[in-house]
Chains A and B, each alone.
Chain A
Amino acid sequence: MAKYKMHLLVCGGTSCRASASDSIIEKFKSEIAANGLENDVQVILTGCFGFCENGPIVKVLPDNTFYTQVKPEDVTEIIAEHVIKGKKVNRLIYNPEQKKGSKSKGFYRKQIRIALRNCGVINPENVDEYIARDGYQAIGKVLKDYTPAQAIDIIKKSGLRGRGGGGFPTGLKWEIASKNAADQKYVVCNADEGDPGAFMDRSVLEGDPHSVLEAMAICGYCIGATQGVIYIRAEYPLAITRLKIAINQAREYGLLGKDILGSGFDFDITLRYGAGAFVCGEETSLIHSMEGLRGEPTNKPPFPAESGYLGKPTNVNNVETFASVPVIILKGADWFSSIGTEKSKGTKVFALAGKINNVGLIEVPMGTTLREVIFEIGGGIKNGKKFKAAQTGGPSGGCLTEKHLDTPIDFDNLIAAGSMMGSGGMIVMDEDDCMVSIAKFFLDFTVEESCGKCAPCRIGNKRLYEILERITNGEGTMEELERLRNLSLVIKDTSLCGLGQTSPNPVLSTMDNFYHEYLAHVNDKKCPAGQCKSLMKYVIEPEACVGCTACARNCPVNAISGERKKPHVIDTAICIKCGACIEKCKFNAISIK
Chain B
Amino acid sequence: MAKIKSLDDLRMMKESLQSKINLREKGEDPGSHVQIKVAMATCGIASGAKTVMEFMMEELEKRGIESVVTQTGCMGYCYAEPTIEVKLPGQEPVVFGYVDTKKADEIIEKYIKNGELVEGIIPMNYETIDNK
By a beta-carbon cutoff of 8 Å, the part of chain A in contact with chain B is 1-4, 7, 9, 11-12, 42, 44-51, 57, 59, 61-62, 64, 107, 109-114, 116-126, 128-129, 131-132, 134-137, 140-141, 143-144, 199, 202-204, 206-208, 236, 238-239, 249, 252-255, 261-262, 327, 331, 357-363, 377
- Chain A residues within an 8 Å CB radius of B41: 119, 202-203, 206-207, 238
The one of A107, A125, A129, A202 in contact with B42, judged by C-beta atoms closer than 8 angstroms, is A202
B42-85 interface (Cβ within 8 A of A): 42-43, 45, 70-80, 83, 85
In the complex, the answer to whether B21 meets A111 with C-beta atoms within 8 Å is: no
The 0/1 profile, CB within 8 Å of A marked 1, for residues 1-29 of chain B is 11111110111011001101100000000
Known: A112-B127, A199-B42, A359-B78. 10 other contacts (CB 8 A): A3-B115, A46-B119, A47-B121, A110-B125, A113-B129, A128-B17, A129-B17, A199-B43, A206-B74, A207-B41
Q: Are A48 and B6 in contact (CB under 8 A)?
A: no
Q: Please, how many angstroms separate the alpha-carbon atoms of A62 and B94 in the complex?
A: 12
- Contact between B114 and A358, CB atoms less than 8 A apart: no
B30 to chain A, nearest CB (A): 14
Chain B residue numbers with a CB within 8 Å of A120 are 37, 39, 72-76, 83, 85
A124 and B73 in contact (CB under 8 A), knowing A3-B114, A7-B117, A238-B42? yes
Query: Is A111 touching B132 in the complex (CB atoms < 8 A)?
Result: no
- Whether B117 lies near A113 (C-beta < 8 A) is no
Contacts of A125 in B (CB 8 A): 71
Complex interface: chain A residues within 8 A of B97 (CB) = 47
Tell me the smallest distance from the CB of B108 to a CB of chain A, in Å: 13
Q: A47 contacts B18, CB within 8 Å? A: no
Pair A253/B128 contact, Cβ less than 8 Å? no
Q: In this complex, what residue of A is CB-closest to B22?
A: A132
- Give the docked Cα–Cα distance between A140 and B79 (Å): 38
Q: A112-B132, A206-B42, A238-B41 are in contact. Are A121 and B72 (CB under 8 A)?
A: yes
Contact B3 A254 (CB under 8 A): yes
Interface size class of B (residues with CB under 8 A): 35 or more
Contact A111–B11 (Cβ < 8 Å): no
With a cutoff of 8 Å between Cβ atoms, the chain A residues found around residue B77 in the complex are: 47, 358, 360
> With A120-B73, A131-B13, A206-B74 in contact, is A49–B43 under 8 Å at CB?
no
24 residue pairs bridging A and B, Cβ less than 8 Å apart: A3-B114, A3-B115, A3-B116, A11-B123, A46-B121, A48-B123, A59-B123, A61-B92, A62-B91, A113-B128, A119-B41, A120-B37, A120-B73, A122-B72, A123-B71, A123-B72, A131-B10, A136-B4, A137-B10, A140-B11, A203-B76, A208-B73, A239-B42, A363-B76
**Cα of A119 to Cα of B123 in the assembled complex, Å:** 16
Residues from chain B with Cβ under 8 Å of A129 in the complex: 17, 21
- CB-CB under 8 A from B76, the residues of chain A are 116, 119-120, 203, 360-363
Q: Which residue of A lies closest to B96 (CB)?
A: A47
A111, B125: Cβ atoms under 8 Å? Answer: yes
Interface hub of A45, A238, A360, A377 (most chain B Cβ within 10 A): A360
| A113 pairs with B73, CB closer than 8 A | no
The reply to whether A109 and B14 contact each other, CB–CB distance below 8 Å, is no
Judge whether A117 and B73 touch: CB under 8 Å.
Answer: no
A126: chain B residues at CB < 8 Å are 70
Question: A184 to B17, alpha carbons, bound, how many Å?
Answer: 37
With A3-B115, A119-B76, A252-B3 known to touch, is A47 a contact of B120 (CB < 8 Å)?
yes
Asked if B11 contacts A137 (CB within 8 A), the reply is yes
Chain B residues with CB below 8 A from A57, complex form: 123
B116 touches A253 (CB 8 A): no
In the complex the two chains form, is A131's CB within 8 Å of B7's CB? no
Residue of B nearest to A335 (CB): B132
Distance, CA A68 to CA B83, complexed state (A): 25
Q: How far is the CA of A88 from the CA of B127 in the complex (A)?
A: 24
Given the known inter-chain contacts A110-B125, A261-B6, please indicate yes or no for A361 contacting B74, CB distance below 8 A. yes
Chain B residues near A50 (CB, 8 Å)?
123, 125-126
B1 lies within 8 A of A252 (CB)? yes
B103 CB → nearest A CB, Å: 13
By beta carbon, the residue of chain A nearest B122 is: A47
Residue on B nearest A204 in the bound complex, by CB: B73
For B79, list chain A residues within 8 Å (CB). 357-360
- Nearest neighbor of B112 in chain A, beta-carbon distance: A1
**Which chain B positions have C-beta within 8 A of A255?**
4
* Residue of B with least CB distance to A330: B129
A2→B72 contact, CB < 8 A: no
Contact of A140 (CB < 8 Å), options: B10, B118, B120: B10
A3 contact set on B, CB distance < 8 A: 114-116
CB-CB nearest in chain A for B19 = A132
A120 to B71, CA, bound (A): 8
Query: Which residues of A sit under 8 angstroms from B7, Cβ to Cβ?
Result: 137, 140-141, 143-144, 261
Q: Is the CB of B74 within 8 A of A1?
A: no
Is A42 touching B117 in the complex (CB atoms < 8 A)? yes
CB distance from B50 to the nearest CB of A (A): 11
Residues of B within 8 A of A119 (CB): 41, 72-76
Question: In the bound complex, what is the Cα–Cα distance between A392 and B5 (angstroms)?
Answer: 45
| Complex alpha-carbon distance, A541 and B79, angstroms | 39
Chain B residues whose C-beta falls within 8 Å of the C-beta of A143 in the assembled complex: 7
Q: Given the complex of chains A and B, what is the CA–CA distance between A120 and B120 in angstroms?
A: 17
Q: Report which of A109, A128, A327 forms a contact with B127, defined as CB distance below 8 A.
A: A109
Output the nearest chain A residue to B7 by Cβ-Cβ distance: A140
Q: Which residues of A contact B2 (CB under 8 A)?
A: 253
Q: Across the interface, do B114 and A261 meet the contact criterion of CB distance under 8 Å?
A: no
Residues of chain A with a CB closer than 8 A to B128's CB = 113, 117, 121
In the complex the two chains form, is A124's CB within 8 Å of B18's CB? no
Residues of B within 8 A of A107 (CB): 127
Residue of A nearest to B132 (CB): A112
Inter-subunit contact A207/B72 (CB<8 Å): yes
Nearest A residue to B88 via CB reads A1
The answer to whether A134 touches B14, judged by C-beta atoms less than 8 angstroms apart, is yes
CA distance A91 to B125 in the complex (A): 22
Contact B126 A1 (CB under 8 A): no
Known: A207-B74, A262-B6. A4 touches B115 (CB 8 A): yes
Cα distance, A3 to B76, chains bound together (Å)? 30
Partner of B117, one of A44, A140, A249, A360: A44
A361 to B80, CA, bound (A): 11
Contact residue among A44, A109, A253 (Cβ-Cβ distance under 8 Å from B118): A44
